[in-house]
Each structure stands twice: as C-alpha cells, then as structure tokens.
Structure 1
Amino acid sequence: MSVATRKQKSADDGHAHFDRELDDLPPDLRWRGWMGRIEAVLFASAKPVSRDDLARVVGQGASVEMLIDDIQAELTGRPYELTQVAGGWMLQTKTQFADAIEAAADLGEHSLAFTEMEMGVLCAVAYHQSIDRAGLADIFGKEVSRDLLARLRYKDLIASGPRSPRPSAPHTFVTTETFLATFDLQSLRDLPELELPKP
C-alpha cells in the first residue's frame, strides 16, 4: 500500500467515526444534537459558514434551514444572533451592544475602526470594483496612499482583483467576504443605492 493510499485510508477512517445521523438517539434529542453541532461550528468560525458545510455535520434527512430557525428562536433575548451574510451563516453580536463591547475591551489589531479616508476608499472600491489606484485618484482628486490600501488589505476588507486594462496593467482592488460580513451584507447587491448629486 502506497503512502498516499495509507493517508487516504487514515482520513477515511477518521470520518467513519463521525456519526452524522445520530440514529441511536430519540428524535427530539437527535434534533437537539444537530442544533448543537451547527451552533458549535458557527461559534468556532470567524467567517460565514455555507449551508453545504453545515449540512456535513447533520443527518441527510435534516433540514439545515429548520435547524437554523430553531437556533435563531433560542437566541431571542441573547446579546448575539445568527445572521445570514456573504452567502453563509455566522454568529454576531447585536448592534445595540457595540458600545458595551467597545467600552469593555481594547480590540487592538482586530479593531475595525476606520478613518474618514479609509471608509471613503472602502466605499469607492465597493461601488466601483474592480478599480485601480488611478481610478481611486480620479474619484478623490488625489493619490490614495499604498499604506492606506495596505491597512484595508490587512483587515481583509479588500483584495487584488483582475489586472486593469490601463497601460502597464496595474492591479485592481475588490471587496472580500469579510467586507460583506463586517457590514452585514448578503452580497454586493445589498449595498445602499448611491444618491448622486443633481446637476
């Protein structure tokens, strides 16, 4: 048996011990077990989890949507909620507790506080993606610093897009799934409509 085959067999054996169906439990406890699994997966993930990924931890006949509905009902009155963002699901603190969280903890490098210019650039990328630095300069009337763009990249809010058709084909910028999750958007179609100044 080759090393690759042994590794594959080992991986398969590892999954064989995971009981998705929970057939040994009565129906009500089985349902509670599936709810607990979904909540645990969401709690452990810093990014939205897709429906397909959640379906891997529950029985084949289980409705992920119904399980999520039951979890959401149980979270009523809690300071966090289960929300659908960026094509998946995640646990998020409710907005009315933002001040308390900010007052209690210094979020340090994980802080998503923005300067006015950072927010402006982020909005420009969101509405005009994919856009390069020259395109951003056209919008703001001045060059956007590489440091500012690097900060937005570090926060995983923007990423490299396709090469621009401009001469020398510079990199363009696009928003990320983290951007969608941060601003509670399911997709870019959920961005508010831009109010353009009247001529």
Structure 2
Amino acid sequence: MNAEAARSAGTVPEDLEPETHAASRSAREPALRLLEAMLFAAGEPLDEATIAARLPEGSDVRALLAELSADYAPRGVNLVRVAGKWMLRTAPDLGFLLARDKPEPRRLSRAALETLAIIAYHQPVTRAEIEEIRGVSTNKGTLDVLLAAGWVRMRGRRRSPGRPVTYGTSETFLVHFGLDAIGDLPGLDELRGTGLIDARVSAGITVPLPSDDPALKDDEDPLEPEFDLSFSPEPDQGDDDER
C-alpha cells in the first residue's frame, strides 16, 4: 500500500507523515530558534506570557515549548518548568560533574531547615506559630538568613494582638528546589518513603496541604510601605537548636 492509499484508508495520519512533519517543523523553525535564544540569554525563568510577547504573532507557545523540551531531553542541558515558568538547567545526572566548579554553599543550620519546612507547609505563618510547631524559640537571625537567601518573604501582618508579621515562601524557593508549584512538595507517604518520617508514626499525624497563594488571607493586612527590611547578624550554628 503506497502513502496515498494509506491516507485514503485512514491508516497513516497526515501529521505523522515524514514530509508533513518536516514541513511543519520547518515553518516553526524561526520561532523555535528565537525561543531557544531567549531561554539561553535569560537571567531568570520566563513565563509563557513574556515568551509569547517576543515570539512572532500567532506562535503556539505551548507547542513550541513542548517541542524544544523534547529536543533537549537527552542533552546535557534540559528545558524545565519551575515556579510556573521555563528555564534551561543542567541535566540532573550531570550535576555532580560540575559540583567541583561551584563554590561550596554555606549549609543551613538545623533550626533554619526546620523553620523553612514549617513556613513552606504552613504558610502564611507567624514567628510565634513557628515556635509553637517547633517546640523551641526561634532566633530572629534564623528568619533573617532565610529572608537574605530569598527563599522566604514577608507577606503581611496578622490581624491579632501585636499584629505579627506573616511569612511565606518565594518564587526563588521554587526555582532553587526545582518545583513547578508549592503543591509539588512531598506529602506524608512520600516523606515516609524517604525515611524522613518514621513509618510507625501515628495515623493521626498529617502533613498540611501547602499553598503559596500571593493574595492575603482574610486575617492578614498588607505590610506598611516603610516597613524595615534590614537583616540582623546571622546566628551562630547552635543559637536555637537546643531542645
């Protein structure tokens, strides 16, 4: 059966024919090249609206991103979606080869890691609420470290006595940890699977469904424009790790 007969019989979809596919890709080639150049030159992840504004009118942005992502999948650099945006990133299996060329980052203290996890899962959350969950006081410097890293942001003020500041995670947090959305954080079953939570933990223990909705909650007020965002000195490693 020749190609024409196969088409008549409906056994070969037109969009799978080599000639048609090649012609279609050729028509998209200028947009693909421009998209690739934009992503390569970008200093930060790009959202689809920004990409669409710079591509030729009528370009199917999602189709182009899907095609470019497939092209890059087997390469040393991958096209990935993080924080709802797109960026080029070193393939995960090659990261260890480049680690020697990167400066060794300062490790977060146990207190900072616990505080970051609580903010990620419980946001919006105040310092007092963080301390209640951790069971120990939280040094102000611990929060300042997370704020300085750009992983945590001040959202607003809680409508309660003292009007404490509420904290949440940032887009930088999602980018750093390779998350498309905060909902991609592991749930209880996944945490058990990694050994981070004892498999025998009480069945009543639950992991909250994280949400980083930028809109303020009903019990939050916006921060004052002149709010002081300066950071205090970083705490010593054991400032608030004592149990």
TM-score range, shorter chain: 0.7 to 0.9
Instruction: Give the direction of change, closer, same or farther, for the CA distance of 1:101–1:118 in structure 2 (3 Å limit).
Output: farther
Distance (Å, rounded) in 2 between the aligned partners of 1:155 and 1:115: 13
Please say if residues 47 and 181 of structure 1, whose CA atoms lie closer than 8 Å, have aligned partners that are also in contact.
Answer: no
Code of the residue aligned with 1:166 in structure 2: it is: S
> Which residue does 1:20 correspond to in 2?
none
Which of 177-186 and 69-78 deviates more?
Answer: 69-78
Check if 1:79 corresponds to 2:71: no
Match of 2:115 among 96, 121, 133: 121
Structural RMSD (CA): 2.4
Residue 168 of structure 1: how far off its partner (Å): 1.0
> Which whole-Å deviations, capped at 9, do the CAs of 1:122-169 have from their partners, x for residues lacking one?
111010001111111111122222222112112211100121233111
Q: Secondary structure at the match of 2:88?
A: strand
Runs of 4+ residues over 6 Å off in structure 1: none
> Which residue does 2:90 correspond to in 1?
93
Q: Which runs of 5+ in 2 are unaligned?
A: 1-22, 190-196, 205-243
Q: Which runs of 5+ in 1 are unaligned?
A: 1-25
Question: Structure 1-normalised TM-score?
Answer: 0.75
The count of aligned residue pairs is 171
Distance (Å, rounded) in 2 between the aligned partners of 1:46 and 1:70: 22
Question: Structure 2-normalised TM-score?
Answer: 0.63
Please say if residues 146 and 152 of structure 2, whose CA atoms lie closer than 8 Å, have aligned partners that are also in contact.
Answer: yes
| Percent of aligned positions that are identical | 27
Q: Secondary structure at the match of 1:163?
A: strand
Distance (Å, rounded) in 2 between the aligned partners of 1:83 and 1:154: 26
Greater per-residue helix proportion: 1
Distance (Å, rounded) in 2 between the aligned partners of 1:96 and 1:118: 28
Residue 115 of structure 1: how far off its partner (Å): 3.2
Residue 77 of structure 1: how far off its partner (Å): 2.7
Distance (Å, rounded) in 2 between the aligned partners of 1:43 and 1:116: 36
Distance (Å, rounded) in 2 between the aligned partners of 1:114 and 1:29: 49
